[in-house]
Chains A and B, each alone.
Chain A
């Protein structure tokens, strides 16, 4: 079995070096990038088997935006992506997101929150607003909150890379 390649994208350099050390010790080939833009460039060269992305980098939604553009890129359409982030989310069902979107624009309603949609079948999605104010609904492979135990992260990676 060839060495699996993982690309870590996070602007917290101290954080990713530790994750890189952990994953390297477990036999993965690791590259890191410090921003969404850098991550996208690096992806083309490195061709990873899995991505681990932070969300809040050069913009509040840089990680989600990168996730979205990777999905529209032919190479990475099905490459697993783990979102590993410290952002404040706010769990809801998809009906609630629908209600939210209907309430959009009504008085006293904040929409700057990222809503994490936890579906009954275990899949996760986020409803977020990007830097230019556009709203997106994005299906995710995996969402892990920081700080994370190494065992949990390793288990999640193994789930995708078996």
Chain B
């Protein structure tokens, strides 16, 4: 498919046109040589090669002029550029007419190449200009054919039968010209209607996309406000409950203790949830340079230390392997720690007692990457594509392990995207899962 430039970048259109012209030059040279060697057609080679050379030269001039012009004006005045397209198409018509003149005029099947430029101009130019150019093209071709017919200019025949037919039957010539003119206008009309329609669709899509982005932003702001307001209440609830649960003020009797304990742990869960949700929305809303250079090993040690106890308590063998030749990474330190922590915690959570969890880290000059492998329950194939979606929880653990928020992996993904990295998950049901994160060292 031809890669058409979109309607906004006008200067791209002009360069697109210039690029197409190189193909035209190559095409002329090829078809001339082909006609000579294979078809054995008598052609005025010197004239044709000369015109092809001239076309190449004019194209080069165009490109150089455009580069100079765009550098100077920074592409501000679009009107001038559309003039340039007019001039280019006009000069192409003249070149084509000259080429046709030296290669048989109306006898040459390449007369349909006028249509190409008519299509191109109806894509690139406004309606008025398209019709003017089309008319000029038709007139150029008609005047070539008629002047050759009348003998005003010489006729270089390539096919004596067609030549004879035209000489003997002028109606053929004029009806051909009429059909040519009619076809040209029809093609322009159809292309123009189509490209207009496409432009409208393109605009609508763009508007819809902007609308969606804006709504998403509003949603994020809203979620952030909401969670932030809830956070204050949770902080108060948690610290009050803690006083009772840890019996700082007065002892709690055994009958009440278990209720307080449950309430306290549920508050912890809500708190975790709110932390994830806030981090996630913040990650989406802030787009600023908050990255600092930090020591990777420090972060890794924090992760290992905060997960060791849990791994031991579940009797899971938690092993690590760090291959660090570049000990620094520039990023949001707490967020990167969140990512590794989240993946390790998930691995520990979704691996039954007696299993294995392994954290493998490589940091070299190119990338900082880590892989968390577990021998856990695994993720069903149907769920694997959705695990990074907000609030999504895999079907095989949704009901048995209830304390997941469904936000952990969304946060992980948002953080990794903020760092221009990638995450990839592999899993086999009943055998375990593997999460691979690659973060580039950039800046």
Contacts and interface: CB of A to CB of B under 8 A. Distances in A.
Nearest to B295: A120
Contacts of B278: 88
Given A12-B236, A15-B235, A15-B236, A91 B243 contact: no
A21 B249 CA distance: 6
Contact of A12 (B232, B246, B271, B290): B232
A96 interface: yes
B333 A147 contact: no
Contacts of A150: 239, 242-243, 246, 248
B334 interface: yes
B282 interface: yes
Interface in B263-293: 271, 278, 282, 286, 289-290, 292-293
A22 interface: yes
B234 interface: yes
A10 to B, nearest CB: 10
A25 interface: yes
A26 B248 CA distance: 8
A148 B239 CA distance: 7
Given A21-B249, A91-B333, A147-B271, A86 B282 contact: no
B335 to A, nearest CB: 9
A93 B289 CA distance: 10
B231 interface: yes
A85 B240 CA distance: 16
B249 A25 contact: yes
Given A90-B286, A91-B332, A92-B290, A18 B239 contact: yes
Q: Number of contact residues on A: which range applies?
A: 20 to 34
Contact of A90 (B232, B290, B333): B290
Contacts of B239: 15, 18-19, 22, 147-148, 150
Binding site of B, secondary structure by majority: helix, strand, loop or mixed?
Answer: helix
A14 B246 CA distance: 17
B232 A86 contact: yes
A1 interface: no
Interface string A14-55: 110111011011100000000000000000000000000000
A92 B335 CA distance: 12
Given A22-B239, A147-B238, A96 B231 contact: no
A153 to B, nearest CB: 9
Contacts of A93: 292-293
B314 interface: no
A124 to B, nearest CB: 13
Most buried by A among B235, B246, B278: B235
A149 B248 CA distance: 13
A146 interface: yes
B228 interface: yes
Interface in A80-130: 86, 88, 90-93, 96, 99, 118
B188 to A, nearest CB: 44
A133 B311 CA distance: 49
Interface string B71-83: 0000000000000
Contact of A88 (B243, B249, B282): B282
A99 B248 contact: no
A146 B286 contact: no
Contacts of A25: 248-249
B236 A88 contact: no
B243 A22 contact: yes
A24 B243 CA distance: 11
A101 B248 CA distance: 45
A21 B243 contact: yes
Contact of B228 (A26, A88, A90): A88
6 contacts: A26-B248, A88-B282, A91-B333, A147-B238, A150-B243, A150-B246
Closest 8 CB pairs of A and B: A147-B235, A25-B248, A146-B235, A93-B292, A18-B240, A15-B236, A18-B239, A14-B236
Interface of B: 228, 231-232, 234-236, 238-240, 242-243, 246, 248-249, 271, 278, 282, 286, 289-290, 292-293, 332-334
Interface of A: 12, 14-15, 17-19, 21-22, 24-26, 86, 88, 90-93, 96, 99, 118, 146-150
